Copies of this chain bind each other. A is one copy, B any other.
Amino acid sequence: MSIEEISRFFEPESVAVVGASRKPDKFGSVILQNLLTLGYPGRLYAVNRNAAEIQGVRSFPSVAAIKERVDAVIVSVPANQVPQVLKDCQQNGARNVTIISAGFSEAGEPGQKLLAEVLSIARSGHIRIVGPNTTGILNPSARFTTTFMPLVKDVRNGSVAFIAQTGMFAGVMVYHIITTQHFGISKVAGLGNKVDVDETDILEYLLQDKATRAVMVYMEGLRDPRRFLSAARTFVQDKPIVVLKGGRTPAGAKAALSHTGSLAVNSSLVTGLFKQAGVIVATELEEMIDCAKILNCESLPQGNRVGIASMSGGAMVMASDAVTEAGLVVGSLSQARLAALQKLVPEWAIASHPIDLEPLSEIVGRYESHRVGLEALLDEPGIDMGLVVTMLVGGQAEEEGLVNALAPALSTRRKPVVIVLLGPKAQCETLAARFEGMGVPTYAMVSNAARSLAALRQYATIRRI
């Protein structure tokens, strides 16, 4: 299997949409519309027996009728028509087929029979298949997608890739990520029932993909664990992988069986093997996203000692608990640094760590206290990572004040820093955009921040830092 073989799924120079339709609620119609919306720059063909042109795109009665060899074929027709489409692909010479249609592995004996037929044609035609039963591929930088979920023009281009053994969920995750997260997406691979192309194939492609810095994987079953683990072991020496394993419990495994036809694998065994291979294992969706965010933008910490600063004593307590419970250590400041801070607080206050910004603010002002606190954490050799918990009151002056106070130290930081934003929602969102624009991960809760720092530290140990 060559990487080039997989790359055509993501970077095709020509594309055929089989099942392209004029009816706006048909998947085939949305897929074609998405390619037009994104401005796909390659050669685009519709395939529909009953039209010469659809949405301005020239239409052919079959893939076989297209004159050039098509790089990528997207199939959205009823399952029982898919074998014929595969034969047409074989005739055309097309070798990369993403099957959107459902009704195979998950659809009882008739589905299994159809699938066997499809696979047999694929084998003889040297055709690789993504899917079936999936939204398939999204590659914002190539303006290419196979998804039937309506897309907007400006899918944020970024450096996190997402592989998911599922159909619709991969598409909805794209919506979720592009509307709630500031990191962008490099590639999405919805694998659906995963009858051919699997996580390992995609990993091998992503390893050499310059656009991708971190990978999230949602996985239900694993056909060839040994091959995946071996690929993962190599991969994580370059880029981090966060895996969320669905079907961890008997009930989840049962649901997975009817979802993608995946057989359950012993969950704690898999988790252990993943961790041994250097994969970060998330236990739920938000954790996977949280971890990908920090792994995508932060340098790796030299140790496990976290420094904490906040205006709120309660936040410092919660952060200390969260850091400890995440398996990290609340660091400490040297006597010299504490003495220096002591000079900046009122007489009644005792400088200590976590750094209470409130007394500092009474002398140096509120925004300046954040600068002083952050710089103390960054300069202190006893601290490996910084966690600043803001207490926001609201207003643009506060936004400017905090950004101006923190930006210089953040832009030259030599250790990872995360910022927790607590306060009025609108302001948390504005500041999240500003800090993440500087490559600083932000979180709404200290517990999310702490477990993300722990994942970062875990990845550092994998990389032997």
A6-14, A227-235, A422-430 - the one binding chain B: A422-430
A318 at the interface (CB under 8 A from B): yes
A416 at the interface (CB under 8 A from B): no
> By the criterion CB–CB under 8 Å, are A314 and B348 in contact?
no
> By the criterion CB–CB under 8 Å, are B325 and A358 in contact?
no
Q: Which of A314-344 contact B (CB under 8 A)?
A: 314-325, 329-330
Residue in B319, B325, B445 whose beta carbon sits within 8 Å of that of A248 in the complex? B325
Cα A248 to Cα B321 with chains together (Å): 6
Shortest CB–CB separation between residue A148 and chain B, in angstroms? 9
Residue in B255, B316, B350, B422 whose beta carbon sits within 8 Å of that of A176 in the complex? B422
A313 at the interface (CB under 8 A from B): yes
Cα A312 to Cα B352 with chains together (Å): 50
B-chain residues with CB within 8 Å of residue A246 when the two chains form the complex:
314, 317-318, 321
Q: Count A interface residues, CB 8 Å.
A: 84
- Contacts A108-B350, A313-B259, A317-B247; A391 near B168 (Cβ below 8 A): yes
B-chain residues with CB within 8 Å of residue A322 when the two chains form the complex:
284
Cα A325 to Cα B248 with chains together (Å): 9
> By the criterion CB–CB under 8 Å, are A179 and B424 in contact?
yes
> By the criterion CB–CB under 8 Å, are A251 and B348 in contact?
no
A111 at the interface (CB under 8 A from B): yes
Cα A424 to Cα B320 with chains together (Å): 34
Shortest CB–CB separation between residue A404 and chain B, in angstroms? 18
A50-58, A99-107, A407-415 - the one binding chain B: A99-107
B-chain residues with CB within 8 Å of residue A205 when the two chains form the complex:
none
Copies in the complex: 2
Per-position binary interface string of chain A over residues 356-391, scored 1 when its CB falls under 8 Å from any chain B CB and 0 otherwise: 101000000000000000000000000000000001
B-chain residues with CB within 8 Å of residue A102 when the two chains form the complex:
348, 358
A222 at the interface (CB under 8 A from B): no
Cα A244 to Cα B321 with chains together (Å): 11
> By the criterion CB–CB under 8 Å, are B176 and A317 in contact?
no
B-chain residues with CB within 8 Å of residue A313 when the two chains form the complex:
106, 166-169, 255-256, 258-260
Shortest CB–CB separation between residue A453 and chain B, in angstroms? 14
Residue in B259, B286, B447 whose beta carbon sits within 8 Å of that of A445 in the complex? B286
A40 at the interface (CB under 8 A from B): no
A180 at the interface (CB under 8 A from B): yes
Cα A350 to Cα B105 with chains together (Å): 12
> By the criterion CB–CB under 8 Å, are B312 and A446 in contact?
no
Residue in B252, B316, B318, B346 whose beta carbon sits within 8 Å of that of A317 in the complex? B252
B-chain residues with CB within 8 Å of residue A426 when the two chains form the complex:
179
B-chain residues with CB within 8 Å of residue A108 when the two chains form the complex:
348, 350
Instruction: Give 7 A-B pairs besides A248-B321, A258-B350 with Cβ atoms closer than 8 angstroms.
Output: A168-B391, A173-B422, A176-B424, A251-B320, A251-B329, A285-B446, A286-B444
A-B contact pairs, 9 of them (CB 8 A): A103-B348, A107-B350, A167-B313, A172-B391, A179-B424, A220-B317, A249-B324, A251-B329, A284-B318
Which A-B residue pairs are the 3 nearest by beta carbons?
A259-B313, A166-B314, A169-B314
A residues apposed to B, CB below 8 Å: 79, 102-103, 106-108, 110-111, 149-150, 164-170, 172-173, 175-176, 179-180, 218, 220, 244, 246-252, 254-256, 258-260, 283-286, 311-325, 329-330, 346-350, 352, 354, 356, 358, 391-395, 422-426, 444-448
